[in-house]
Amino acid sequence: MQNRLVDVEKAVELINDGDSVTLSGVSMVRAPMGFVREIIKAGKKDLYLIDREPGMDFDILIAAKAVKKVRVAMLGFELFGLALNFRRAVENKEIEWLEDTCGAITNALRAGASGMPFVVVKGILGTDLVEIHEKEGTWKIINDPFTGEKILAVKAINPDVAVIHVQKADKYGNASIEGSRFEDVYKAKGAKKVIITAEEIVDTEYFMKYPERNTIPYFYVDAVVHMPKGAYPTACPNYYDPDYDEIRKYLAMCREGKVDEYIKEWIEKEV
């Protein structure tokens, strides 16, 4: 095991302009917001963001003009409303977008983690998404070689980089996601490079005592960053709940056309 603990400025160098990037969490839970801020600070460009159901992490990266393309099953702020920067960027054709569906994108991430070129997925046939993805080259209707029935083949997803915020990690990269994992373990195992940000850096003894809590073992991981409150204002289970007021403030400023001001303050403030 090598010491992978680095400063955030060093870790962000693992991301190249134009990379496909997936981020941990869902909606307002365990998004790697602290690292997102570093991506913006570093001025990364033309990223291809991929996730099942992200939220503020994707929207603010779009607002900061770091994004070329987005592939999601859903991107919004639930009861608070639409993701305004995502919406505007798509409607003004500033970014490309590919709508996915949860069952396909999660299976594609798992296939990526399994080393499989594609996965067959039930459902979906008959919806308009099929044509969009056949054009894109991400899905294809095939015949089940055993029964002859039509079924959808979904190409595996192996992102260039996965950034996963976890509760605990050691300096070697052994990482523990507590509570809901979503697809984060598959994202890490399928990505070409993995960056872990962690609320706490623990001694390796912690994993020796509780090996079942090691959800992403060290050999998958390229960099570990100690980042308390690294998911804020989204939640980090067992550490903090989502700060709905802060998320509302972000949306209010987006509505008033002051998102640049929000980002500037957010970068200067550091949590």
Partner 1 sequence: MHTADVMIKAMAMEIGNNDIFLHGLASPLPALAMHLAKLTHAPHMVYINVADALDPEPDSYKLCLSSADPRHALNTKAVIELLETFDLAAKGKLTGMFLGGAQIDSKGNINLTCIGDYYSPKVKLPGGAAAAYLTPIVKKLIIWTTNHSKRVFVEKLDFVTGLGYEEGKEKDVTVITNMAVFKVTKEGFVLKSIHPDVTVEEVIENMSFSPVVKDVETTPTPSKDELKLIEKLDPDGVRFSEFKK
Residues 187-226 close enough to bind partner 1 by CB under 8 A? none
Residue with smaller CB distance to partner 1, 42 or 130: 130
Buried b (16+ CB within 10 A) or exposed e, 230-255: bbbbbbbeebeebbeeebeebbebbe
Q: Kindly state whether residue 102 participates in binding partner 1, applying the rule CB under 8 A.
A: yes
Q: Which is nearer to partner 1, 43 or 81 (CB)?
A: 81
Q: What CA–CA distance (Å, rounded) separates 51 from 70?
A: 8
Pick the stretch among 16-24, 104-112, 168-176, 250-258 that binds partner 1 (CB under 8 A): 104-112
Pick the binder of partner 1 from 36, 83, 175, 259 (CB under 8 A). Answer: 83
Strands 175-176 and 223-226: unpaired
Handedness of CA 120, 122, 126, 128 (dihedral sign): negative
Segment 125-184, which members bind partner 1 (CB under 8 A)?
125-129, 132, 179-183
User: For residue 266, what are its two tokens?
Assistant: 């957010």
Cα dist from 204 to 168, 169, 170, 209, 212, whole Å: 10, 8, 6, 9, 13
Name the residue nearer to partner 1 (CB basis): 99 or 222: 99
Instruction: Pick one of 14, 42, 90, 201: the residue that binds partner 1 (CB under 8 A).
Output: 90
Query: Closest Cα to residue 112, out of 19, 197, 192?
Result: 192
What's the rounded Cα separation, in Å, for the pair 267 and 11? 17
- Euclidean distance between the first and the last CA atom of the chain, given in angstroms as a whole number: 31
- In the shown chain, the binding pattern of residues 18 to 47 toward partner 1, with x for contact by CB under 8 A and - for none, equals --------xxxx------------------
Of the pair 44, 71, the CB lying nearest partner 1 is at 71
Binding site for partner 1 (CB under 8 A): 26-29, 52-53, 72-76, 78-80, 82-83, 86-87, 90-91, 93, 97, 99, 101-104, 106-107, 110, 121-129, 132, 179-183, 186, 235, 237-238, 241-242, 244
